[in-house]
Amino acid sequence: MKDLISITDLTTEALQGLIDKAQDLIADPGKYCEKCKGKKLATLFFEPSTRTRLSFEAAMLELGGSVLGFSEAGSSSASKGESVADTAQTISCYADIIAMRHPKEGAPLVAAQAACVPVINAGDGGHNHPTQTLTDLLTIYREKGRLTKLKIGFCGDLKFGRTVHSLITAMARYQGNSFVLISPEELRVPGYIRKDTLDRNGLSYKETDNWNDMPDLDILYMTRVQRERFFNEADYLRLRDAFILTTDRLADAKGELCILHPLPRVNEIERAVDRDERAAYFRQVLNGKYIRMALILKLLGID
């Protein structure tokens, strides 16, 4: 495997290998602090980011490597009309590995085909976000001790939320998982996720527009309504407050519920929820750095 474009590029064994490596990185970071000495990571971000870009950069720095890149399309030659393929081929001359975020679905795949170094999809439009999924899997594994037999609620913008699409695809591979898809009717998961992932694999799932399943959930994955992907502001304003998680809502949830969110949060989780031990989203942020360290090592062929 040269690149990571979709979570399906990794076998279940490879996923477990990354989780195990991340656990070792957490336990013994000193062992890895010079592993990427002399290596460079380029972060090519054509869309805003805080966690993904900075966790990639922190990951490479903690491995002893260095980083270069840009954080907005306007400061790159894309603004002069350069193609993604040409940009990727160019950066291959400067860096050993590339992490790319782009508003157009498929752009990182195009980059991977043109680059002679590994390319990681750091989010492409409303499509995929495989490294957030690696973060989510590591977090679920550390919080719950397993990736199987879990009832997972996804709540919010399931249509445009790329983290949701990648995580459903990943969790569908593990035995005994079931899904509750909580959203307004207009923001349900895209047809290809329903048909190609959920229906084709005969998975147990339910689409709903209410919180009634809360008491049965093992995991609640909250998401932001993705304002930038709406075609008109009025629809966004109408839908943005449809599901807000409050401490009252959690009254009948399991004591061991694990609440996740890829962040950034707008208002879909009330701040008071942060004090609840079940809120794991800031632990999730830290896990994101370690799993990206594991991924960089893997793609560079370093043990």
Pick the stretch among 61-69, 112-120, 260-268, 295-303 that binds ligand NCD (CB under 6 A).
Answer: 260-268
Residue 129 annotated to the active site: yes
Q: How far is CA 16 from CA 46, 147, 196, 203, in A?
A: 30, 10, 23, 22
β strands within the chain, DSSP E: 40-45, 66-70, 97-102, 119-124, 151-155, 178-182, 204-208, 219-222, 258-260
* In the complex, minimum distance from the CB of residue 46 to ligand NCD, in angstroms, rounded to a whole number: 12
Residue 102 annotated to the active site: no
Question: By CB under 6 A, is residue 132 in contact with ligand NCD?
Answer: yes
Pick the stretch among 15-23, 37-45, 230-238, 257-265 that binds ligand NCD (CB under 6 A).
Answer: 257-265
Number of residues that bind ligand NCD (CB under 6 A): 11
- Using DSSP's 3-state secondary structure scheme, residue 34 falls into coil
Residue 144 annotated to the active site: no
Ramachandran class of 161: left when φ > 0, alpha when ψ lies in -120 to 50, beta otherwise: beta
Residue 249 annotated to the active site: no
Inter-axis angle of helices 281-299 and 12-27, nearest 10: 110
Which residue, 80 or 271, has its beta carbon nearer to ligand NCD? 271
Residues 6+ apart with CB under 8 A from 207: 181, 183, 188, 189
* In the complex, minimum distance from the CB of residue 204 to ligand NCD, in angstroms, rounded to a whole number: 26
What is the residue whose two structure tokens read 């919010």?
156
- Return the structure tokens found at 183: 């959203």
Which residue, 118 or 156, has its beta carbon nearer to ligand NCD? 156
* In the complex, minimum distance from the CB of residue 274 to ligand NCD, in angstroms, rounded to a whole number: 17
- Using DSSP's 3-state secondary structure scheme, residue 235 falls into helix
Question: By CB under 6 A, is residue 51 in contact with ligand NCD?
Answer: yes
Question: By CB under 6 A, is residue 126 in contact with ligand NCD?
Answer: no
Which residue, 229 or 278, has its beta carbon nearer to ligand NCD? 229
Residue 8 annotated to the active site: no
Task: From the candidates 35, 101, 127, 159, give the one annotated as an active-site residue.
Answer: 101
Residue 116 has a CB neighbour count (10 Å cut-off) of: 10
Q: Which long-range contacts (C-beta less than 8 Å, at least 24 apart) are formed by 230-235?
A: 230/160, 235/186
180: nearest Cα among 158, 200, 199, 208:
208
Exactly one of 6, 43, 52, 87 binds ligand NCD (CB under 6 A); which one?
Answer: 52
Give the footprint of ligand NCD on residues 140-199 (CB under 6 A). 162-163
- Return the structure tokens found at 145: 């001790």
Which residue, 3 or 136, has its beta carbon nearer to ligand NCD? 136
Which residue, 92 or 183, has its beta carbon nearer to ligand NCD? 183
Pick the stretch among 14-22, 38-46, 67-75, 259-267 that binds ligand NCD (CB under 6 A).
Answer: 259-267
Q: Do the beta carbons of residue 14 and residue 1 sit within 8 Å?
A: yes
Rg, the chain, Cα only: 19
Question: By CB under 6 A, is residue 71 in contact with ligand NCD?
Answer: no
Question: By CB under 6 A, is residue 224 in contact with ligand NCD?
Answer: yes
Which residue, 40 or 129, has its beta carbon nearer to ligand NCD? 129
List residues near ligand NCD by CB under 6 A: 51-52, 123, 129, 132, 162-163, 224, 262-264
Catalytic annotation, residues: 51-52, 80, 101, 129
